[in-house]
Amino acid sequence: MVATIKDVAKMADVSISTVSRVINDSKPVSPEARRRVLHAIEVLDYRPNEVARSLVTKKSNLIGVIVDDIGSMYVSYVLRGVEEIGRMYNYDIILLSSYGDPELELKFAKLLFQKQVEGAIIISSTLNQKLMYRLEESRIPYANINRFYDIEEDLTVRINYEEVSFNMVEYLIEQGHKKIASLAIRKDIDRTEEKYKVDGYESAMKEHSLKSSNIYTLGIDEKSFLDISDEIDSAIKNGVTAFFCSQDEIALHLMNYLVDRGMKIPDDISVTGFGGTAMTNIYRPKLTTVRIPYYDIGAVAIRRILKKIEDKDNFSEERILLPVEILKRDSVKKID
């Protein structure tokens, strides 16, 4: 049988309140009683039942994390930050993966509520308004970490996409490139961060009196990329020497597309990405890209949630801007 607080009390010959006091250090206890309690705890190998504890304190020390796919690098990197910081504050993660099913996400909201989680974090590529609504309705503080969408009114952590995009394009220009095409995702572009990246690209081109040329894909998968192969071909025919891609995946698809057609990266075409996951460093040539601090994004998000849990009332809604870094590697060639 597993020992309960009663067993400890009996063995230490004190009341359960005293036991509770020593384990929580909540009120003064005589050295003698404390000693006996500690001893009994040791002997019985007693560990407080967190469920019972939660019931009375109304603190579950649980954060629900809804992701669209654990298998995605992006998600797992963010998760690292969430998990590790959560642990520092004694919070555990209950992980739910929806695979993009919005109905399932709604069920998750209900589930989280029933499990009495104290907060929630959504890591996703799509936007589920109903889910957010449900969470609010249930008064569960949440943060939305989205790979694409830019949600003004929400608890979000951001990076300055426009500036870093500007810098990246300027770097390409410094390397002698003049015909640079941008490759981004069109879907819902007005509500996504893609917009900022494209804006950064265009500012840089304009600043250097260069003509910009935008190509858009519908999604991030290889199929979407293949749909625009004609545009890629004609861009190259028109003398484009470098592609500024808004996502690492797109850059990778592009490089594969070109390599599979006998071109050389970066000798024939230069390519830059955006993200900086491990793959970009393993691929050859190593991809020049923007390192997005996924870990920190997760870390900041959970910190804010925890803060919000502490003082529900006066919660300052500052948006945190995370620094980014350009990783100059081997997919860009200096030309004359």
Partner DNA sequence: CTGTTAGCGCGTTCAG
Partner DNA sequence: CTGAACGCGCTAACAG
Give which of DNA, a second copy, none residue 76 binds (C-beta under 5 to 8 Å, depending on kind).
Answer: a second copy
Contact positions vs a second copy (CB under 8 A): 47-52, 54-55, 60, 62, 65, 69-73, 75-77, 79-80, 83-84, 87, 92-97, 110-111, 113-116, 252, 255-256, 259-260, 279, 282-284
As measured in angstroms, the least distance from the Cβ of 331 to DNA is: 56
Give which of a second copy, DNA, none residue 106 binds (C-beta under 5 to 8 Å, depending on kind).
Answer: none
For residues 40 and 242, which CB has a smaller minimum distance to DNA in the complex?
40
Give which of a second copy, DNA, none residue 4 binds (C-beta under 5 to 8 Å, depending on kind).
Answer: DNA
Spatial separation of the C-alpha atoms in residues 310 and 50, rounded to whole Å: 20
Is 185:219 a contact under the CB 8 Å cutoff? yes
Is 301:143 a contact under the CB 8 Å cutoff? yes
Give which of DNA, a second copy, none residue 28 binds (C-beta under 5 to 8 Å, depending on kind).
Answer: DNA
For residues 58 and 211, which CB has a smaller minimum distance to DNA in the complex?
58
* Closest C-alpha among 62, 67, 16 to residue 41: 16
Contact positions vs DNA (CB under 7 A): 2, 4-6, 13-21, 23-24, 26-30, 32-34, 46, 48-49, 52-53, 55-57
Give which of a second copy, DNA, none residue 29 binds (C-beta under 5 to 8 Å, depending on kind).
Answer: DNA
Spatial separation of the C-alpha atoms in residues 306 and 324, rounded to whole Å: 24
